Amino acid sequence: MDKRLRLLLFMLGFVTITFAQGKKITIEEIYGGAFKTKTMEALRSMKNGEQYTLLNFNRGNKSSSIDKYDYKTLEKVETILNSADNDAVPAFSSYSFSEDESKVLLATELEKIYRRSKLGVYYVYDIASKSVVKVANAKIQEPLLSPDGGQVAYAMDNNLYIFDIASGTTRQITSDGEYNKIINGVTDWVYEEEFAFVRAFAWNANGTKIAFLRFDETNVPEFSMDIYGKDLYQRQYVFKYPKAGEDNARVTLHMFDVVSGSTTKIDLEDPYYIPRIKWMNNADYLSVTTLNRHQDHLKLYAVDAKHNSVSVLLEETDKAYVDINDNLTFLADDSFIWTSERDGYNHLYLYGSDGKLMNQITKGNWEVTKYYGYDQNEDKIYYQSTENGSINRGVYSIESNGKKKKALAVETGTNSASFSADFSYFINTYSSATQPFRFTLHKALTGAKLKDIKDNRELADMLKGYDASPKEFSTLAINGNDLNMYMIKPSNFDASKEYPLLLFQYSGPGSQSVANRWGSTNDYWHQMLASEGYIIACVDGRGTGFKGRDFKKITQKELGKYEVEDQIAAAKKLSELPYIDEDRTGIWGWSYGGFMSTNCILKGNDVFETAIAVAPVTSWRFYDTIYTERYMQTPQENASGYDDNSPFNYPELLEGKYLLVHGSGDDNVHVQNTMRMVEALVQANKQFDWAIYPDRNHGIYGGNTRIHLFTKMTNFIKENL
């Protein structure tokens, strides 16, 4: 490696951490919550733009309250509801307002299903009368108040219902719902996981129509998992899971007329996926996003709900795939804002209500990373981007014609904004690699800071007493690209000595692990290892995000090829440094990162001596349709792309020490992946270590599970690297 490698070390902010030698970080502290950061509670801006509400918990009497605060003063001005003062209201864990903010929907007894879905018991609280009504006498999903607050639509047992608050009566919209067959109004497993939404129905602006999706899972293959629990016999959990190349649910769009009670199927020319529906401002028009199976051809439809007629607003194509997001925003006249990578980077575009492009709003060799919204009165679009470097994030405003751009929060590091409903204010969340989260209040038009709200000074002060080192950011020239990298060295680093190297990475399409922001709990584990004499490095190779379309999408149809080449090349180049022991190189990762670390110790067996794979994919044939086919097409079309980079097809290449870990209750990356890898290694007569955590899902947590897992990983590294 170039000995003149430039290291960029960020030491920013008014409570940045001074790193020094001190006491050792322990696994029990890390995964027991000793280093938790203070956060801003999820606030909801009131429609007046001057006030916001927070959900507060009183652990003493196990009550919850909705409190109203003023943006200017940050002082509490009113308690809207306190469960301790109302015998009819149990303690609630989340809430949402009706459109006119006269009623509040309260969630209690929440029960998790998958990553985003949950069941719960819900109540409606009338703020004026202080009356409370229970929505249903059973656990339901995704309740949503009508615009006038008079009704609640919800899903239960795969069917849709409407509850009338005044009369206390319930109407059933659908009746064909059946587990593992027909779903109305909520998504199936794969839509929830990969298109990131659960509620698949929506009220129009005047509450006269409900648009909803219906999933016919009849032909989707079933997957089963044994749940061991504590009973004498395990039980089997069976659910629909479409693996790459298999049948997906057939999804159709339907329109329910609230007045007549009639339901009409909308003809969308038989789309393969319907990943988004969204009503326009005109109550008679619904927008619908569809995708073909390859996800490289998107159509945005306008549905006339009066006549149930359909027209195409825009089409988007890409040689690889088109991303799905929630950035679509309709202006007052139903012209709309859209994001696209069509010029090579993700940018904002303005379209007329007829679907014709009016202008590109943002331009440059950088990416819009979040779209916050549009202020119609000031003609201001607010967004986050990488304009100040791909590992940083800044907050900006710009007019819809692409002029008068203004930097609002761009301190080097990561800035993220939460705007008031009328875009008068925003709360900025800032962090860097050395600055824990701090929260400040700003004027939206100018970006001027009004107040400091909260910081993590106590955490910063506490960490000064620990043996820790800063992340050193740089770029590494690999395979024709300057790849973003960070390195953590021991606090007593001595350039005349040699240290073992442990690479950490995720590497999945569009991801980013090298970022100038406050880290996760795993970063503390890396600090702990650095204090034990290891150098930790992380390199974002080809296929990761925020450096343009071509860099991200080069891995198309070849997941695990270019990313693995880059990690192997990075390890080789870093081993050329005089302070790296080239005979002691390891790599680890979770999920996609476990897929990568497994491939690296096999294909890079002359480079890596050690690897840890947690919950890895070992063949993309085992993973779901939407994610896998987006990047790989189907196994029937691209067999070599699937098999050439599936590690259980070449277990004989294993030479180093390998630890394989999985949760048996992983509904996402099934333990089948690990079992097939184990069998392949056994038949190749290759020794390895492995661990299965009973009934644990993809996150492998609960009780002492994380402590046990990372203790095992730590011991493995100390013994083998």
Amino acid (one-letter) located at 500: P
Answer whether residue 1 shows pLDDT above 80.
no
Answer whether residue 93 shows pLDDT above 90.
yes
Please give the full DSSP string across 288-314, using - where no structure is assigned.
EEEE-TTS-EEEEEEEETTTTEEEEEE
Answer whether residue 11 shows pLDDT above 60.
no
Answer whether residue 20 shows pLDDT above 60.
no
Amino acid (one-letter) located at 43: L
Q: Which CATH superfamily is domain 42-171 in?
A: YVTN repeat-like/Quinoprotein amine dehydrogenase (2.130.10.10)
Tokens of 339: 């994001």
Q: Are strands 580-590 and 610-614 parallel, antiparallel or unpaired?
A: parallel
The C-alpha atoms of residue 551 and residue 554 are separated, in whole angstroms, by: 6
Alpha-carbon 215 to chain mean position: 24
Confidence class of residue 19 from pLDDT cuts 50, 70 and 90? low
Please report, rounded to a whole number, the percentage of residues in the chain having pLDDT higher than 70: 97
The C-alpha atoms of residue 450 and residue 453 are separated, in whole angstroms, by: 9
pLDDT, residue 89, reads 86
Lowest mean pLDDT among 83-87, 333-337, 565-569: 83-87
pLDDT, residue 3, reads 32
Per-residue b/e over 431-458, b at no fewer than 16 CB within 10 Å? bbbbbbbbbbbbebeebeeeeeebbbee
pLDDT, residue 380, reads 97
Please give the full DSSP string across 455-466, using - where no structure is assigned.
--HHHHHHHTTB
Grouping H, G, I as helix, E, B as strand and the rest as coil, residue 666 is coil
pLDDT, residue 60, reads 81
CATH of domain 173-324: 2.140.10.30
Q: What is the mean pLDDT of the chain?
A: 95
pLDDT per residue over 135-158, tens digit each? 999 999 999 999 999 999 999 999
pLDDT, residue 59, reads 83
For the chain, the distance separating the N- and C-terminal CA atoms, rounded to the nearest angstrom, is 22
Nearest to 213, CA basis, from 231, 199, 226? 199
Across residues 91-103, what is the average pLDDT?
Answer: 94
CATH of domain 333-455: 2.120.10.30
The C-alpha atoms of residue 47 and residue 45 are separated, in whole angstroms, by: 6
pLDDT, residue 575, reads 97
Nearest to 488, CA basis, from 540, 524, 437? 524
Sign of CA dihedral 588, 593, 598, 604: negative
Phi-psi region of 207 (alpha: psi -120 to 50; beta: other; left: phi over 0): left
How far CA 536 is from CA of 324, 525, 583, 604, 660, in Å, comes to: 34, 10, 15, 18, 20
pLDDT per residue over 186-210, tens digit each? 999 999 999 999 999 999 999 999 9
Q: Residue 152 — φ and ψ, nearest 5°?
A: -130, 125
Domain ranges of the chain: 27-36+459-720, 42-171, 173-324, 333-455
Contact 370, 383 (CB under 8 A): yes
Answer whether residue 5 shows pLDDT above 70.
no
Q: Count Cβ atoms within 10 A of the Cβ of residue 359 and give its class: 0-12 exposed, 13-18 middle, 19 or more buried.
A: exposed
Across residues 414-439, what is the average pLDDT?
Answer: 96
pLDDT, residue 14, reads 40
Across residues 73-84, what is the average pLDDT?
Answer: 94
Answer whether residue 424 shows pLDDT above 90.
yes
Helices (H), 532-632: 549-553, 562-575, 592-603, 625-632
Answer whether residue 523 shows pLDDT above 90.
yes
Q: How many CA atoms lie within 13 A of 233 on its CB side?
A: 2
DSSP label at residue 30: H
pLDDT, residue 584, reads 98
pLDDT per residue over 281-334, tens digit each? 999 999 999 999 999 999 999 999 999 999 999 999 999 999 999 999 999 999
Answer whether residue 342 shows pLDDT above 80.
yes
Answer whether residue 390 shows pLDDT above 60.
yes
Answer whether residue 438 shows pLDDT above 60.
yes
Helix axes 521-531, 705-720, angle to 10 degrees: 30
Tokens of 86: 């109302």
Nearest to 635, CA basis, from 617, 622, 647? 622
pLDDT, residue 88, reads 85
pLDDT per residue over 586-606, tens digit each? 999 999 999 999 999 999 999
Grouping H, G, I as helix, E, B as strand and the rest as coil, residue 622 is helix
Amino acid (one-letter) located at 571: A
pLDDT, residue 633, reads 98
Confidence class of residue 565 from pLDDT cuts 50, 70 and 90? very high
Grouping H, G, I as helix, E, B as strand and the rest as coil, residue 564 is helix
How big is the chain, counted in residues?
721
Contact 94, 42 (CB under 8 A): no
pLDDT, residue 43, reads 85
Nearest to 625, CA basis, from 299, 214, 317, 251? 251
Rg (CA), the chain: 26
Which CATH topology does 27-36+459-720 take?
A: Rossmann fold (3.40.50)
